[in-house]
Chains A and B, each alone.
Chain A
Amino acid sequence: MKPPPFHYHDPRCLDDALGLLAEKENAKLLAGGQSLMPMLNMRFVFPDDVIDLNRIPELTSIGEDEGLVRIGAMTRQCALERSEVIRDHCPIIIEALRYVGHIQTRNRGTIGGSLCHLDPSAELPTVAQGLDATIHIQSKRGARTLAMEDFPAFYMTPAIEPDEIVTAVEFAPWPKDHGFAFVEFARRLGDFAIVGVAVLLVVSADGSISRASITLGGVGQAPIRCTAAEEIVTGSNDSDAAMREAAETCRKIDAMDDLHVSGVYRQKLAVALTLRALRKAYDRAIGESVA
């Protein structure tokens, strides 16, 4: 048997899950299992208790309320791909999901699981950062929210306490006619991205960019919001030149070296991909069809 021994719990409501989590010393939460299960199978983790969140219906929903889109943490990636609410309000999520694993993993993987695992090259944390998501967190002690920007504490570690569960993610949709693009480079489709970029733009009638969000994934230990680049493109009356200049700023970002590629290579990729994403988002915003 591959996984180490543990006690298994499958609570039927959030309250029971929170109770278990508060009381167990060395517990792991099981969401879609696409990261925890491999770690169990390889015996990288030895939890005494596994608390399975898959039988808690209140954590799986996609809803729209007072102009905000709220996604339950246990909503599966395949459900997001097919959701009309997401397609209408946050289409960049759907564009990014194409790069998240494969059909078989998206059928199980959840948005909350992906955010909490917080792999530096994962697409969903990058997009959540770009959309200024609000993370809803709960424990026996109460509920709180955290801006996505403050969610990563350090490498692959969210800023949540051991007794807390992420219950939902909330987005404020961009105006209907915004432009968006998610582009990434990986060795093969579905592999971890070497660099991924999420861009959202609002373009005014005169062709200038009035609002911009640019986020890089895979470059640093957590998604990086490129505020300097955003400032360059916003308000410029020569959008094309501004987009080139903005992309160029990515060359200065402190990028990780790892056994796959060097930091310098990541910086080069970040420049190229940011420009590509900016142009694609811009074309979409002005109503041109993009490939």
Chain B
Amino acid sequence: MTDTRTISVTVNGSRHDLEIETRLTLADFLRHQISLTGTHVGCEHGVCGACTVLVDGQAVRSCLMLAVQADGAMVTTVESMTGENEQLHPLQQAFHDNHGLQCGFCTPGILMTLLEFLQHNPSPNETEVREALSGSLCRCTGYQKIVAAALDAASRLRQDVGKTAGRRES
């Protein structure tokens, strides 16, 4: 018995129309069907947060969603973060500068989580950052540098917003 469906999902701005098995998770769809291996899978049962992606702008665990449930949705993965010429997103740059990763396995999930979090809360304090990070497990860093990177990223992103606002005014 193979239950299949044709779905249409927009991932990082490109549309994919594909026939898939309905029991395929969104994480496996991203990694195996469209070869975006930036999204990592650690536990595959909703504990580690490594597989976090944005679905219609909201951070979700892609191992806890079926690909068929994303039919018609916009999915954003870590691959979308770098700009032209491989320029890092300010959030990525902050992780680089603060040594916010070691092996990097947890990083994509953390970046996607923070991307949504910093949108809702552009000036978080340390407690709020730790709360936002509570859904992600990191076996390497001890979290200290991840927290520092997140706070640094928040201030960089605020400056960026300031700059664009200033430009618009002039």
Stretch from A100-108, A114-122, A170-178, A225-233 forming part of the interface with B: A100-108
Please indicate the chain B residues that have their CB under 8 angstroms from the CB of A37 in the complex.
25, 45-46, 63-66
Are the CB atoms of A34 and B64 closer together than 8 Å?
yes
How far is B3's CA from A190's CA once the two chains are assembled, in angstroms?
35
Cβ distance B22 to chain A, nearest Cβ, rounded Å: 4
Are the CB atoms of B23 and A4 closer together than 8 Å?
yes
Are the CB atoms of B58 and A107 closer together than 8 Å?
yes
Cβ distance A155 to chain B, nearest Cβ, rounded Å: 21
Please indicate the chain B residues that have their CB under 8 angstroms from the CB of A38 in the complex.
45-46, 64
Stretch from B9-17, B77-85, B130-138, B156-164 forming part of the interface with A: B130-138
Interface status of A52 (Cβ within 8 A of chain B): yes
Are the CB atoms of A104 and B113 closer together than 8 Å?
yes
Interface status of B61 (Cβ within 8 A of chain A): yes
How far is B59's CA from A189's CA once the two chains are assembled, in angstroms?
18
Please indicate the chain A residues that have their CB under 8 angstroms from the CB of B52 in the complex.
104
Please indicate the chain A residues that have their CB under 8 angstroms from the CB of B23 in the complex.
1, 3-6, 8, 40
- Complex partner residue of A5 from B2, B44, B69, CB under 8 angstroms: B2
Are the CB atoms of A1 and B24 closer together than 8 Å?
yes
| Residue in chain B with minimal CB distance to A55 | B69
Are the CB atoms of B68 and A108 closer together than 8 Å?
no
A103 and B135 contact, Cβ closer than 8 Å, known pairs A2-B44, A41-B45: yes
| Residue in chain A with minimal CB distance to B24 | A1
- Complex partner residue of B3 from A5, A34, A78, CB under 8 angstroms: A5
Are the CB atoms of A8 and B22 closer together than 8 Å?
yes
Are the CB atoms of A102 and B2 closer together than 8 Å?
no
Q: Is the interface of A mostly helix, strand, loop or mixed?
A: loop
Interface status of A254 (Cβ within 8 A of chain B): no
Please indicate the chain A residues that have their CB under 8 angstroms from the CB of B59 in the complex.
103-104, 107
Are the CB atoms of B60 and A104 closer together than 8 Å?
yes
Please indicate the chain A residues that have their CB under 8 angstroms from the CB of B25 in the complex.
2-3, 37, 41
Per-residue CB contact flags for chain B residues 79-109 toward chain A (1 = under 8 Å, else 0) read: 0000000000000000000000000000000
Are the CB atoms of A8 and B68 closer together than 8 Å?
yes
Interface status of B5 (Cβ within 8 A of chain A): yes
Are the CB atoms of B3 and A103 closer together than 8 Å?
no
Are the CB atoms of A54 and B69 closer together than 8 Å?
yes
Please indicate the chain A residues that have their CB under 8 angstroms from the CB of B5 in the complex.
8
- Complex partner residue of A103 from B45, B65, B113, B130, CB under 8 angstroms: B113
How far is B130's CA from A170's CA once the two chains are assembled, in angstroms?
34
A105 and B135 contact, Cβ closer than 8 Å, known pairs A1-B28, A37-B64: yes
How far is B60's CA from A40's CA once the two chains are assembled, in angstroms?
17
Interface status of B21 (Cβ within 8 A of chain A): yes
- Additional pairs, 7, CB under 8 Å, beyond known A2-B44, A8-B22, A33-B65: A1-B21, A2-B25, A5-B23, A33-B69, A102-B135, A189-B130, A190-B135
Chain A residues near B (Cβ < 8 Å): 1-8, 10, 30, 33-34, 37-38, 40-42, 50, 52, 54, 78, 101-105, 107-108, 188-190
Chain B residues near A (Cβ < 8 Å): 1-3, 5, 21-25, 28, 44-46, 49, 52, 58-61, 63-66, 68-69, 113, 116-117, 130-132, 134-135
26 A-B contacts, Cβ less than 8 Å apart? A1-B24, A2-B25, A3-B23, A3-B25, A5-B23, A6-B22, A8-B3, A8-B23, A8-B66, A10-B68, A34-B64, A37-B45, A37-B65, A41-B44, A41-B63, A50-B22, A78-B58, A101-B135, A103-B116, A103-B132, A104-B49, A105-B64, A107-B58, A107-B59, A108-B61, A190-B134
